[in-house]
Structures are given as structure tokens and as C-alpha cells.
Amino acid sequence: MIRPDPGSRHERLDALRGFAVLWMAVFHFCFDLAWFRYAGWDFYRDPFWLQQRTAIVSLFLLCAGAGQACALAAGQPWARFWRRWAQVAGCAVLVSLGSWLVFPRSYISFGVLHGMALMLILLRALGPRLPLAALWPLGLLLVLLPQFAAHPFFDARWSNWVGLVTRRPVTEDYVPVLPWLGVMLWGYALARWRPAWLAGGIVPSLRPLAVLGRWSLSFYMLHQPLLIGGLWLFRQATIGA
């Protein structure tokens, strides 16, 4: 039995975001196992893991774009947008600081939260001014642009946030504006094109995913410290046994 949509929540979108968060947690747990040398997986070169990362980030940004379309359709004021944006940007700063402590040579200077913070501003400002028909080809152009417009100027840490790099920077997470703004635009366009797809309810079995999706930022910030801390304690316990 499908539950009705409560209030202004888009439970289908929440559940999709929750699925992305859960997938990300499994991915990061596997990464942590490799980092602690409990597994021999190569997260930096193996296509199996690289493609999963691309799929997870894509799903997150599709949800973020769709979420902005829903917020604008509901008349969300700029003040509320900036409050949420400040949370994302603040967490991005914490991610940079935390990763610098753990990975000083490959710390995260422009990861998924940094990218989302900047891309959300661009989408909020430009999205409502663009016709729906223009969003699809524009998104495709942004996705493809790094393939034929890369330049060494953008390889520096202070400029690689644009995405037009000739080589991937040495960092644990890298989500530049290009090509990823194109993916977020597609999520925004999809929600504008078919808002009914997100307006319905969900089956009860998906309810936990929807709850997780509503707390995605908090979960994102907490899951890695808990996973790494748990594995570290496990290692200490097994060493002392």
C-alpha cells in the first residue's frame, strides 16, 4: 500500500537520496578495509571501484538538482536556501580540515560538498532563468566540456575546482564544477519536466531510506569517523589479543 506524501516532503526523492547515502557508506567501508590492509582492493585504479564512485556521485547530484527544482516550485525563499547552504559549506570546511589531518598529502580541497556548495548557488541563480528545453543540451555540454577544453592552467590546486584539468589532482575526493554541474542540471531538469514522479508516496518498506535521506548531511559527516574509529578499535583489540 502506497503511503500519501506527508506535507511538503518528497518522500520518493528522500528515499532515492537515502539509497545513495547507504551505497556511499558501503563503498567507504570497503575503502576503509583496504586502507587498514584488511583487503587488497585498489580504489585508485580498479574500474570496478572507480565506476561505483562515479555512479554514487552522479546519484547524489541528480538528487541535489531535483531537490532545488522542488524547493523553487514550493517557493523557497533565498533566506532558507542560504541557511541550508551554510550547513553544506560549513561541513565542506570540516571535511577539508579532517582529511588534512588523516591524509596530509592528499587532503580534500574540493570534494563533493565543496562542489555542491558552489553548484547549488549557480543552479539557484541560473536554473529558473533557463527554459526547460535548454537544460538538457546545456547539461550535456557541461559534462563533455572537460574532454575537449582541458588546459594545464587548471591543474593547480587553486584552479582545479573548475574541472578543466589535464590530470586528476592527488586528493581523496574531487568533484569539480565541470562536468558535475551538468549532472546536477539534469536532475533539476528531470524534476521540472516530470514533477509527478517525485510527488507520490512510497511503500512502507522504503520508509527507512526516506528517513536516512532527510538526514543525509549529518550521516555523511558522521559515517566515516565512526567506520574508521571502529576499524581502529578492532585492530587494537586484535593486536592485543
pLDDT score of 8: 60
Cα Rg of the chain (Å, integer): 19
156 Cβ neighbours under 8 A, 6+ residues apart:
none
pLDDT score of 132: 94
Q: Is 169 in a helix, a strand, or coil?
A: coil
Residue 193 backbone dihedrals phi, psi, to 5 degrees: -75, -45
201 Cβ neighbours under 8 A, 6+ residues apart:
2, 3, 4, 5, 11, 12
pLDDT score of 241: 59
Bridge partners, residue 233, by sequence: none
Q: Residue ranges of the chain with pLDDT lower than 50? A: 1-7
Q: Which three cell numbers stand for residue 108?
A: 580534500
pLDDT in tens, 116-169: 999 999 999 999 999 999 999 999 999 999 999 999 999 999 999 999 999 999
Residue 96 burial (CB count, 10 A) = 17
Bridge partners, residue 174, by sequence: 110
Sign (positive or negative) of CA dihedral 32, 37, 38, 42: positive
pLDDT score of 239: 78
Task: Output b/e per residue, 60-73; b: 16+ Cβ within 10 A.
Answer: bbbbbbbbbbbbbe
Q: Which three cell numbers stand for residue 5?
A: 506524501
The answer to whether 23 and 59 are in contact (CB under 8 A) is yes
Alpha helices in 103-240 (DSSP H): 112-126, 132-148, 177-193, 196-199, 207-214, 216-240
One-letter amino acid at 189 equals A
